[in-house]
Amino acid sequence: MHELSIAKDMTTIIGKAIGGPRPLDRVNVTIGPLSGISAESLRFCFGEVARSEGFGEPELVITLVAARLVCLDCETEYNAKDFYDGCPSCGSINRNILSGREFTVDSVEFDEGNS
């Protein structure tokens, strides 16, 4: 599963950033709607991977950002939460993607004195 490998990448990145596995309280991530990542699936996979790799049972806090698109017919720039939203001005679905594919681990939170 796609999200399982993403979850494993996340624990690898986090482990390097904080000097090895330790129980986490919270992990904050940002997902763009065009990233192809299912928030629910990632939440499930990350929970499994985090526990099995020694990161405890952190809460995964997911921020979903809007995609930024530009209409190729009328040049309106607009935000879309859903990839199938058309242009708000003319309804066209001819557009270029400006952003929305992002996936970032923003921060992790843990108790410094608890290791």
Helix (H) or strand (E) holding 80: strand 77-80
Torsion of CA 56, 43, 8, 4, to 10 degrees: 140
Q: CB of residue 70 vs Zn ion: minimum separation in angstroms?
A: 9
| Residue selected from 17, 90, 93, 98 as contacting Zn ion according to rule CB under 5 A | 90
Residue 69 makes contact with Zn ion by CB under 5 A: no
Judged by CB under 5 A, the stretch of 13-21, 29-37, 43-51, 75-83 that binds Zn ion is 75-83
Contact 115, 20 (CB under 8 A): no
Q: Does 80 bind Zn ion (CB under 5 A)?
A: no
Identify which range of 11-19, 20-28, 46-54, 87-95 contacts Zn ion by CB under 5 A: 87-95
CA 88 to chain centroid: 26
Least distance CB 90 / Zn ion (angstroms): 3
**108/10 Cα distance (integer angstroms):** 11
Q: Closer to Zn ion at the Cβ: 74 or 98?
A: 74
* Under rule CB under 5 A, residue 74 binds Zn ion: yes
DSSP for 33-74? TTS---HHHHHHHHHHHHHHTT----EEEEEEPPEEEEETTT
Binding site for Zn ion (CB under 5 A): 71, 73-74, 76, 87, 89-90, 92
